[in-house]
Amino acid sequence: MDILITNNPACKVHFAGFYRVEYFDMTPLEILQKVRGYVHLGHGLVSHPMAGGLPPGTTPYKSVVITAQAGAISLENIGIIENATERYTRHGDFYPTTHLESHQALDLALLRR
């Protein structure tokens, strides 16, 4: 069972039986940093950390799926997560605080594809 790393309470509930959900009360940047740690240990990216092409600061929620098992370290996956983390780092920790249910639904929809 793959691992969902999220700060989205809607994803936590919706995907509980489908993924091993790791829920954290943290910013999207911190979620990406957590994912980066796993990728550097050899976990693969199942979903793209910049899914939907949403720029940093668009939503306060971030959800990324990674493989449950660590394997060979992928330079491609490291490049993807480092790029995403860098983009969020440049943006800063400024996120919308209104319409949270809509933001949760958007983040959830990006994983449903």
- The string of pLDDT tens digits covering residues 45-100 is 999 999 999 889 889 999 999 999 999 999 999 999 999 999 999 987 777 788 99
> How many domains is the chain partitioned into structurally?
1
Going across the sheet that includes 20-23, the strands are 20-23, 3-6, 63-66
pTM over 0.75: yes
Range of the domain at 79: 3-112
Distance CA(61)–CA(7), nearest Å, equals 6
Residues 29 and 46: their CA atoms lie apart, in Å, by: 18
pLDDT of residue 113: 62
User: For residue 91, what pLDDT is reported?
Assistant: 85
For 52, list phi and psi in degrees, rounded to 5: 85, -5
Averaged pLDDT of the chain: 94
**Confidence band for 23, pLDDT divided at 50, 70 and 90:** very high
